[in-house]
Amino acid sequence: MSFEKKENCGLFGIYGDAGAVEKTYLGLYSLQHRGQESAGIASSDGEFIQCYTGMGTVGRVFRSGRGILEKLSNRMVIGHVRYSTTGSSNPINSQPLLCEYSRGQVAVAHNGNLINASLLRSEYEAYGSIFKTTSDMEIITHLLAKPTHVNKSDPLGHVLSHLQGAYCLLFLFADRIEAARDPCGIRPLSIGRTKEGGYVIASETCAFDVTGAEFVRDVEPGEIVTLNEKGLSSRFFVKPGSVKPAHCIFEHIYFAKQNSFLFGENVHEFRKKLGRQLAAEHPVEADMVTPVPDSGTSAAVGYAEASKIPFEMGLVRSHYIGRTFILPDQKLREFQVKLKLAVIKEAVEGKRVVVVDDSIVRGTTTRGKIRSLRDAGVKEIHMRVSCPPIRHPCFYGVDFPTKEELLANERDLEQIREFLEVDSIGYLSLEGLLSCAALPSDHYCTACWSGSYRIPVDVASGKFSMERYQRNMFDDLPEGG
């Protein structure tokens, strides 16, 4: 993990289970890797929706002894963990967002990024709409409430047809849960079944494991799934098969947890395949293979297996250090990187080491790790990366830096090698990456490497484009205790 790319968001919803709120808590906990800025849970008793959100991790927001989960206890529940890709890290942007309109209450949770949200917001503001948050998700509630939309035969399907970009959505109405996925299926969303007969929907299947649910299937691109007293039903707001899928393969490389089943295959096994392909494309003589934990570990195992070079843990990650990218001073960030990722000197001293990472974004913290290895007496360092060079920003829900900040932007491999201060560097080719995937190569989004955006981004706006007045001046401060 490079500490330079930031998480998505995580969704969890459950219908028809007596322990729904407790399982939602556990499901969100298992999805914590997808976002640590805020967390929230909304539940319905069939007539009234109540919601609680807060800043910080799931454990912090719903810490024991406060009775929050007990008050939310119902058989219909949705939850959310957030990392902001549109709108700042601010309490007003915590999700689920609960609001009322002419058809009653609705709570909404979102994972993804709407590239036309700023245009839609400006249009609605021009007609008098007042917005509470600065996230792209709120525009969906205004679309739902529009009088000409609520009278449609399928109001939700009509609303979704207005959206452009990547989105997985959970809607909690008083009497039902509805889940939707964009027509390209960019972000993952899966359906499970509990032992009690309830239905679960989550961003990753790892949330099913902890709640005792069985994987049923994925929500299809362009599909709306309804969970209510009749069970599960579905409909499509676009013609099935009319849009070619564009699954974010970076979910497989970095975001998803190793035990998740994603886009047709297990994440750990996929990353091992990347490592084996990387060894075939960039062999080197060395004494050991070591990963940059945690997301580089599976690829390093694959590289070691294919190269017959011993696998060894030369770097150890601390899970108790806060996020380095929120610190205000570069020296503090560099110091915290050393705390977060420690070198095992006895394992690496005097060795020729292959260091395997999932990706490199800015490269500054990667260079810091390399220097730490040099200080520990490593003889040679051969950097291997299990994806191609990232040269383009993402507009579909990954908070990469601007193009100008990307290490591989306008640098060739030799310049990257010199910047990182390594003896050699090898990136996995795009063709090699796609050859490891279970689905056809044209079913994945590769825009951050190729610059080919499946959904036009000429209307895309920046992360803070809707924060004309509400920018939080304390946004960059670390979380309190």
Determine how many CB atoms are found less than 10 A away from the CB of residue 221: 23
**Cα 144 to Cα 2: distance, rounded to the nearest angstrom:** 39
**Cα 235 to Cα 160: distance, rounded to the nearest angstrom:** 13
Give, in degrees to the nearest 5, the angle at Cα 57 between 51 and 61.
40
**Kind and range of the H or E run holding 139:** helix 138-145
Q: Sign of the CA dihedral 276, 280, 282, 284?
A: positive
- Segments of 88-218 assigned E as strands: 97-101, 104-114, 165-173, 176-181, 190-193, 199-202, 214-218
Determine how many CB atoms are found less than 10 A away from the CB of residue 76: 27
Q: Are 166 and 186 in contact (CB under 8 A)?
A: yes
Strands 315-317 and 341-343: antiparallel
Active centre residues (catalytic)? 9
- Segments of 29-71 assigned E as strands: 38-44, 49-55
**Cα 129 to Cα 112: distance, rounded to the nearest angstrom:** 23
How far apart, in Å, do the first and last CA atoms of the chain sit? 25
